[in-house]
Amino acid sequence: MAQASLGLCSFPDIPRVMGEAQQKGVHWRCRRVQVICVQSPALMPTAVLNIFGFFPWLNFFNFFNDAHHFVVERLTSISALFVTYIEAPKQDNTHIYRERLAGYVVTSALHDAGQTPLSRCLPETRVKVQEDMKNWIADIPVNGQPKTRFLWLTGPAGVGKTAIIGTIADRCKEERTLAASFFFSTFSGGPYRQSKARFISTLAYQLLNCVPEIEKKVLAAIERDPVIFDRGLDEQFRALILEPLRETVEESDSDPSIWRKIIFVDGLDECTAIQDPSASPKELRERTEAAHREILSVLFSAIKEPSFPFRIVLASRPEQVICQFFSTQKQWHIELFLDEKYNPSDDIKRFLEAKFHEIQQRYDLPDNWVPQSVIQLLVERASGQFIFAMVAIRFVEDGDELPQDQVQLLLRWCPEPSQLSESKPFDALDQLYTRILKTSPKHYLAIKWILAIDRLRREAPCPPAIVKDYLESAAGETQFLLGRLNSLVHVSKRNSDLPLFHLHHQSLLDFLADPRRSGDLYVGEDKVEEFLRGCWENILKSRGPHRCSGQYTAIPKDFVDWYFRLSSYQPTQVSETDMEWWDTAMGTRETVILLLGRSGAGKSHFINGLAGADLAPVSDCLLPPRDHFKASTAVIPTWMTAQSSCKQPNL
C-alpha cells in the first residue's frame, strides 16, 4: 500500500488526489490530515494566511466523497466559530530595485571614475573660464549674459573642454553642490559611455543618492514598469527623475533650494548611434544627430520644469546639429566659447613650463634645459590647442631618446609659425601626428590596427584581450607595431586598471579619418574591412588565433554576432564543414541550433574553438569560453589553403 502525507494539502485537492489514486488502483495510506473547519461561512475572511490549505465555502463533511481504498491513521479536526489570522508582513524589495537601477549605471562616465580618470586643469591655468563658470554656478551674471539654468561650454577639438569640466566638477563635489555627471567618450570606458542608452538611468542613480527623499519613488517607478530602461529618453526622464522630484516637492516639507545644484554633461558630440553594419554612413550620421537632439530636448525640458531644481553644464564641440538646437533655445542658456578671449596661449605656456619642470626633476636635468625661447615657439605652434601641447609632452616623456633629444626632434618635425595657415588651424598638430605615426616600423599597418581597434570597439564591444588575440598574427606584434606610439595610443600592462588599448584623444581619429589632413597615411573604411577579413582568414588557416591570452572569461554576444557577419561571405562548403564540426566534435546540438537561429551565418573555426568542448547553451549575452583552441585537420577545407582564395593581411 502506498503511503503519503497530506498534512499541507488544500481541501479541494484531497478528493481529487484520492479519486486519481482510486482510478489508478493505488491504495493510499494518509499518515496525517490536519483540518481547519469554520462552521459559519459568514465569518470567513476574504484574505486568509493559508497555512493548511484553507479554502472558502468548504463543506468539510463532504470532502472525502467518492474517495475509497485509503486509510487515515490520525485525523485532527479543529472546529471554531471565529478565525484569527495574521497577515504576512509585506516584503521590502527596495534593495532589489536599487540593484537593478545600479545595473544600468555607466560608472566609467562619472566624473570621478577610477578606471578612466579624466584630465584636470593644472593650477593657475584656465583661470578666466573657471571664474566665469563659478560665477554662473553662484547665480552671478557672466559677461553681461542673462541668468539661466543651462550653460554650454564649447570650442574646437583639443582646447581642453573636458579638463575644465572635470576641474569644476571636482570643486563642486568638494563644496557639496555636485548633483550628477555624465562624461561621454567614444574611445574609452566601454560602449555605454558613447551611447544614450544609459544616460538617464546613470543620472537618476546619482540624484537618488544626493536627494534621498526621492529614492522610494524612483524605485517604485522601476517596480511599476520593469522595462522602463528600454523606453525613450523622455519617458525614462519623466518616470525616473521628473515625477519623483515633483511628488517629493508637493508631498513633503523638503526645501529643494538646499539640494545639490549642478549636473555636468561632457562630450555630447561623442555620443554616437548604435552601430549597425547594414546602415550606410549617412544613416548612422542621421541617427547620431537624432540622439544629440533627443538628449538636448530632454535636458531643456528639464530646466523648464519648476519641480526640477538643478542647473546643467554641458560641454561639446560646436557640431552643426548641436549649434542649430542651441540657436532655438537662446533665452534658456548662456554660451562660453573657448577662443582667444580666454588667453589659451598663456595657459599653454604655463602647462609646458610645469611639465618640463617635472621632467627636469625626474631626470635631474639643469633648470634651463628647455629655454624660454623653445617654450614660446611651441606655444605659437600650438595655436591655442591644448591637445598639441599634451601630445608634445607625451612624446618627450615616452620617447626612445633622452628628453633633450626628444625636444630637438619635436622642433624639427613641427612647422615654423610663419608656415602655419589660418585656413588650416590643425597644421602643426597634423604634422606632429604624421611624424609620430611614422616612427612605427610598419606605420601603415599600425594605422590599420588603430582604426581596427576603434571599429571593433564601436561595432563589437568586447574585452581588449579578445581584440589583441584577433589582430595579432604573431606573438609580440602588438608591441612591435604600437610600442613607439605611446604618445598617441597607450598599450597598458595586463594588471593595469586602464584598457589594454587606450587612445589618448579623439583628435587622432579625426586626423586619420580626413584624407585632406592625413595625406598618404589615410586608410579608408574598405581597407580596414579588408584588413579585418585578412585577420579572420589567418585565424581559419591557423585553426584558431596565434595565441589565446586567457585574459577574458566570456565572449560577448556582440562580438560573436559581428564575427558571424564578417564571415557571411564564405562559400557554402565552409558553413557545412563548420556545422559538421559542431555536430561531431562539440556534441551539443541545442547550442548549434541556437547559434544558427541567431546569426544565420556560417560558423568559423575561431568561434568553434572559443566555444570549447563542454558547451552549455548560449545565453543572450555571453558565449562560454574555452581554455584552448583546437580543430581537426579534416575540417579545414582545401580551398582555404589556396593563396588565390585567402589573402594574407598586408604586413
Pairwise CA distance, residues 398 & 629, whole Å:
36
Residue 84 has pLDDT above 60, yes or no: no
pLDDT for 130: 96
Most confident of the ranges 14-28, 78-92, 236-250, 614-628:
236-250
pLDDT for 202: 98
pLDDT for 266: 97
pLDDT for 651: 27
Whether 169 and 181 have beta carbons less than 8 Å apart is answered as yes
Residue 184 has pLDDT above 90, yes or no: yes
pLDDT for 132: 96
Asked whether the CA dihedral 185, 122, 387, 529 is positive or negative, the reply is: negative
Q: Where does residue 229 fall: left (phi above 0), alpha (psi -120 to 50 degrees), or beta otherwise?
A: alpha
pLDDT for 75: 56
The residue that leads in pLDDT, 497 or 538, is 538
pLDDT for 590: 46
Residue 169 has pLDDT above 90, yes or no: yes
pLDDT for 466: 78
- 3-class SS at 336? strand
* Structural domains of the chain sorted by starting position, each given as residue range(s) with its CATH number in brackets: 2-80 (no CATH), 95-339 (3.40.50.300), 343-434 (no CATH), 443-641 (no CATH)
Give me 349's grid cell. Answer: 605656456
Q: Where are the alpha helices (DSSP H) in 497-588?
A: 506-513, 515-518, 525-541, 557-566, 572-581
- Length of the chain equals 651
Q: What is the mean pLDDT of residues 512-535?
A: 90
Give the percent of the chain with pLDDT over 70. 65
Q: What is the mean pLDDT of residues 613-622?
A: 34
pLDDT digits (tens, 9 = 90+) for 531-560: 988 887 777 666 556 665 554 555 566 666
pLDDT for 646: 30
pLDDT for 488: 83
- 3-class SS at 61? helix
Among residues 25, 34, 35, which one has the least CA distance to residue 69? 25
Task: Report CA Rg, the chain.
Answer: 33
pLDDT for 69: 60
In degrees to the nearest 10, what's the CA dihedral of 489, 123, 157, 298? 110
pLDDT for 18: 43
The residue that leads in pLDDT, 170 or 276, is 170
Cβ neighbours for 161, distance < 8 A, ≥ 6 positions apart:
153, 154, 155, 266, 267, 315, 316, 317, 338
The residue whose grid cell reads 553681461 is: 144
Residue 122 has pLDDT above 60, yes or no: yes
Q: What is the mean pLDDT of residues 3-16?
A: 42
Q: What is the mean pLDDT of residues 88-101?
A: 80
Q: How confident is the model at residue 53 (pLDDT cuts 50, 70, 90)?
A: very low
| Lowest-confidence region among 296-305, 404-413, 451-460, 525-534 | 451-460
Three-state SS letters, 40-61: CHHHCCCCCCCCCCCCCCCCHH
Pairwise CA distance, residues 617 & 461, whole Å:
21
| Lowest-confidence region among 43-57, 221-235, 438-452 | 43-57
Give me 143's grid cell. Answer: 559677461
The residue that leads in pLDDT, 636 or 527, is 527
Q: For the chain, what is the mean pLDDT?
A: 75
The residue that leads in pLDDT, 135 or 628, is 135
pLDDT for 299: 98
| Lowest-confidence region among 74-83, 160-169, 438-447, 468-477 | 74-83
Whether 272 and 186 have beta carbons less than 8 Å apart is answered as yes
Pairwise CA distance, residues 391 & 428, whole Å:
11
pTM exceeding 0.85: no
| Lowest-confidence region among 65-79, 120-134, 372-386, 404-418 | 65-79
| Lowest-confidence region among 183-197, 393-407, 494-508, 510-524 | 494-508
Q: What is the mean pLDDT of residues 303-330?
A: 94
Q: What is the mean pLDDT of residues 116-143?
A: 89
Whether 221 and 240 have beta carbons less than 8 Å apart is answered as yes
Residue 25 has pLDDT above 50, yes or no: no
pLDDT for 112: 87
Residue 582 has pLDDT above 50, yes or no: no
pLDDT for 419: 56
Most confident of the ranges 118-122, 247-251, 352-356, 478-482:
352-356
| Lowest-confidence region among 72-81, 212-221, 222-231, 233-242 | 72-81
Pairwise CA distance, residues 271 & 195, whole Å:
5
pLDDT for 556: 62
Q: What is the mean pLDDT of residues 56-85?
A: 52
The residue that leads in pLDDT, 588 or 100, is 100
Residue 50 has pLDDT above 70, yes or no: no
Specify the DSSP class assigned to residue 371.
Answer: -
Most confident of the ranges 6-20, 130-144, 459-473:
130-144
Whether 186 and 505 have beta carbons less than 8 Å apart is answered as no
